[in-house]
A and B are shown apart, each in its own frame.
Chain A
């Protein structure tokens, strides 16, 4: 990395502030749509952090997969299930908030303590391959990580088929339990919800 250290520090500070504040916005904002777009901003800033770490290929993969696929998928899901509903109040919500916040703060302080006090054995910067990391990743993927690479393709195929099977509508002509003909209308509009009165 040939950028001056001041520029690096400024970039790092801005990117990490965007990451932290954006993540807080994702979990705290009322509107789920704002959360989804802030999540896209967080993913872009994480890609910027990867660029600061000399990893241009992973940064590009992060932008393509997270911003281009996962975030768009989440926005589609929000549009499909976006219904204004009044959530039922929970009686012990206060104590739940307090307990979960204290657990998270404790975990955060523990992690930061480990980060700061541990002595990391940093390798010397002379060995750094720098900009050639893409070539090295390709060598890894086709030599010692060949089996995980192939298994990942099988995993993606399974996930694709599983998502289709789970999300498609029922196309059977008869209901299995009752034997009545199934209406092929939009299920969200017409049919009775199956499990809502079972509590």
Chain B
């Protein structure tokens, strides 16, 4: 990609920063546990955009960032499956998905 007649790298980085911060906001402020999992997926996607942008602009011959993105996608799929299974098990025991009521580990 040409430097002067292409989308700048900074544009991709800014989009991914905004997506990451939105994910953190949702993680901190959601009451519904499913929405917390969605926010985690948003943050993982922001990291993936970062990796892909660096892979395309800085390492465009050995595209190692794309390989890392594939591994991140794999781990994200596993994390979503296990997270939703934990959520179902919690719902079965406490009959709610409210994050404020999951305080078993609180001292």
Residues of A whose CB lies within 8 Å of any CB of B are: 1, 5, 8-9, 12, 16, 19-20, 23-24, 26-27, 32, 35-36, 39, 42-43, 46, 49-50, 52-55, 57-58, 61-62, 65-66, 69-70, 73-74, 76-78, 80-81, 83, 85, 87-88, 90, 96-97, 100-101, 103-105, 107-108, 111-112, 115-116, 120-123, 125, 127-129, 133, 136-137, 140-141, 145, 148, 152, 155-156, 158-160, 162-164, 166-167, 187-188, 193-196, 199
Binding site secondary structure of chain B:
helix
A199 vs chain B, min Cβ distance (A)? 8
Within 8 Å by CB of A20, from B15, B59, B66, lies B15
Cβ–Cβ contact B35 & A133, under 8 A: no
| Most chain A Cβ neighbours within 10 Å, of B56, B57, B86 | B56
Given A20-B18, A53-B53, A188-B91, 7 additional A-B pairs, CB 8 A: A26-B39, A35-B38, A80-B88, A108-B21, A120-B9, A159-B77, A193-B95
Residues of B whose CB lies within 8 Å of any CB of A are: 1-3, 5-7, 9-15, 17-26, 28-32, 34-35, 37-39, 41-42, 45, 48-49, 52-53, 55-64, 66-67, 69-71, 73-82, 84-89, 91-98, 100-101, 103-104
From B102, which residue of chain A is reached at the shortest CB distance?
A195
From B18, which residue of chain A is reached at the shortest CB distance?
A20
